[in-house]
Amino acid sequence: MSTAAPMTIEELIEEFDDLGDWADQCEILIDMGRELPHMPAELKTDETKVHGCQSNVWMVASVSDSEPRTIELIADSDAMIVRGLLTVILMVYSSRTPQEIHNTDIKGIFSRLGLDRHLSTARKNGLGGMVSRVRQIADNALAPN
């Protein structure tokens, strides 16, 4: 599989459904992780680190000034499978408004991908931490200045 052309979350779910086998699905996540651009080292700080993850994970957001305000995310990890999970999070949340982020049924998406069944407890906790960070960013973007 090549993710050279951006894939939508629906296309990823369809691909996962077609494969059916977790080992093959995991390989897609790893491939997606390989293609995730690396975050510049100067952005990897304690402030951008996502806590609660087994691996090192960093996430940075920018909020557009134009209306509707959208959030752009960049993220990175030192673990390939986590980089793949970050790619999924970016597919779901990047270029969305804070309200769209809050309205997204992320647990439903993770369930449709089988992540709720196949990830270890530690990975699920880390994934929850990444989602919490995105929601916190969305809350901050909604707050009056």
pLDDT reported for residue 5: 52
pLDDT reported for residue 36: 94
Give the phi and the psi of residue 14 in degrees, each rounded to 5: -60, -45
Write out pLDDT tens, residues 99-116: 999 999 999 999 999 888
Would residue 26 show up in a list of annotated catalytic residues for this protein?
Answer: no
Nearest to 130, CA basis, from 69, 64, 83: 83
Do residues 16 and 113 lie in contact, with contact meaning Cβ atoms separated by under 8 Å?
Answer: yes
Packing angle of the helix pair 80-93, 106-113 (nearest 10 deg): 130
Do residues 72 and 61 lie in contact, with contact meaning Cβ atoms separated by under 8 Å?
Answer: yes
Write out pLDDT tens, residues 58-75: 999 998 888 888 999 999
Looking from the CA of 67 toward its CB, the CA atoms found within 13 Å total 0
Give the phi and the psi of residue 64 in degrees, each rounded to 5: -65, 155
Q: Please give the mean pLDDT across all residues of the chain.
A: 89
DSSP string of 47-101, one letter each residue: TTB-TT-SS-EEEEEEE-SSSSP-EEEEEEESSHHHHHHHHHHHHHHTTB-HHHH
Do residues 98 and 142 lie in contact, with contact meaning Cβ atoms separated by under 8 Å?
Answer: yes
CATH class of 9-142: alpha beta
pLDDT reported for residue 78: 94
The answer on pLDDT for 138 being more than 80 is yes
pTM: 0.88
Token output for 50: 């996502």
The answer on pLDDT for 83 being more than 70 is yes
| Catalytic residue chosen out of the listed positions 7, 12, 28, 53 | 53
The answer on pLDDT for 3 being more than 50 is no
